[in-house]
Amino acid sequence: KRILAIETSCDETAAAIIENGTTILSNVVASQIESHKRFGGVVPEVASRHHVEQVTRIIEQALEEANLKPSDLDAVAVTEGPGLVGALLIGVHAAKAMAFAHGLPLIGVHHIAGHIYANQLEQPMHFPLLALVVSGGHTELIYMEKDGHYETIGMTRDDAVGEAYDKVARTLGLPYPGGPHIDRLAHEGEAVLTFPRSWLEPNSLDFSFSGLKSHVLNVVHNQKQRGEETNPANLAASFQESVIEVLVTKTRTAVNKYGVNQLVVAGGVAANKGLRAALEKEFAESLTLSIPPLPLCTDNAAMIGAAAFYQLEQASFAGWDLNGRPGMEL
């Protein structure tokens, strides 16, 4: 079965065609990063405008690259939320138009479910499993007993880890989005600075990154005030070491507590080389570890098509009243 999937929740306009939730027939992503860079972050109105201009062309390109016609499709899936409301609506309306015009069922997908199911494009998901979600807006540990069942067992109490990366990068004068730049710098430097780790209460599976972020920002500002040079590579390495140690340790606690055999990693920060290496070192021998390839970590529509498949199998369809849901819960 083939699903056309559309993703417009933030600043990439994306469409993909996925077969049986596992095989990518096409995967097109138009990033708007260049347009948002000079503002240092995503400007919602600018994002919506780009989505309107791009979405039809991107859908056509996804069909072309898969060498398919709309009549070859079995369903249309779209990111329903969470995200920017104006951005989500463009995808939702494009999906409705495609589904209505071609007599196809419509499926609404949660963006984070998409990030998690990106793993299904790499290897089968074996339940029960644990998902470590690390993205621009989310940092969560999610226990999944089966398809579509999400139990959040830990989450950030303040900043998402991607957000902390982007703010630290901004303070160092690096371009948006800063995560990949910090990652690169971290490998050039050494973690010589002692930065805090926020463990919270003993055995807590929750996260907190705002303290670390503020600490790093203060170090940079104080050095500037004293006229001292900041070594960005060492700073990035020290920051990244703190983040990774907390993520890996809490994931280990959750894996042991829930006794899962599979760990799947999801979201843009899963592209982080340091984190990937640390997770492999900690888990590769004791359980099945799944981390999506880099292009499937950040926002794309292939992951939405992967997550939509079990919904298609369960005939869990959306009505024509499907709406963008900026604060949608998993």
Q: Tell me the chain's radius of gyration from C-alpha atoms.
A: 20
Q: Is 110 in the site for ligand ATP (CB under 6 A)?
A: no
Distance, CA of 14 to CA of 27 (rounded, Å): 8
Q: How far is the CB of 286 from ligand ATP (least distance, A)?
A: 25
Q: Which residue has the tokens 């070491």?
A: 241
Binding residues: 111, 115, 133-137, 166, 179, 183, 272, 299
Give the Å distances, CA to CA, from 297 to 26, 118, 201, 265, 300: 16, 7, 30, 9, 8
Pattern of binders to ligand ATP over 282-311, x per CB under 6 A?
----------------xx------------
Q: How far is the CB of 320 from Mg ion (least distance, A)?
A: 28
Long-range contacts of 174-181 (CB under 8 A, 24+ apart): 174/232, 175/37, 176/33, 176/36, 176/37, 176/39, 176/40, 176/41, 177/33, 177/136, 177/268, 179/268, 179/269, 179/271, 179/272, 180/271
Partner interacting with residue 305 (select from ligand ATP, Fe ion, Mg ion, none; CB below 5-8 Å by kind): none
Q: Is 183 in the site for ligand ATP (CB under 6 A)?
A: yes
Instruction: Tell me the residue number closest to ligand ATP, measured at CB.
Output: 268
Distance, CA of 127 to CA of 260 (rounded, Å): 8
Pattern of binders to Mg ion over 270-309, x per CB under 5 A?
-----------------------------x----------
One of 81, 91, 178, 232 touching ligand ATP (CB under 6 A): 178
Write out the binding residues for ligand ATP, residues 238-277 only, by CB under 6 A. Answer: 267-269, 271-272
Binding residues for substrate: 133-137, 166, 179, 183, 272
Tokens of 174: 């690096």
Q: How far is the CB of 243 from ligand ATP (least distance, A)?
A: 9
Angle at 203 between CA 202 and CA 204, to 5 degrees: 90
One of 7, 11, 80, 159 touching Mg ion (CB under 5 A): 11
Q: Are 121 and 306 in contact (CB under 8 A)?
A: yes
Write out the binding residues for ligand ATP, residues 5-24 only, by CB under 6 A. Answer: 10
Rank residues 99 and 207 by Cβ distance to ligand ATP and give the closer one.
207
Q: Is 183 in the site for Mg ion (CB under 5 A)?
A: no
Buried b (16+ CB within 10 A) or exposed e, 171-191: bbebebbbbbbbbebbeebeb
- The verdict on whether omega for the bond into residue 128 sits within 30 degrees of 0, i.e. cis, is yes
Question: By the criterion CB under 5 A, which residues form the site for Mg ion?
Answer: 10-11, 299
Question: By the criterion CB under 6 A, which residues form the site for ligand ATP?
Answer: 10, 111, 115, 135-138, 162, 165-166, 177-180, 183, 267-269, 271-272, 298-299
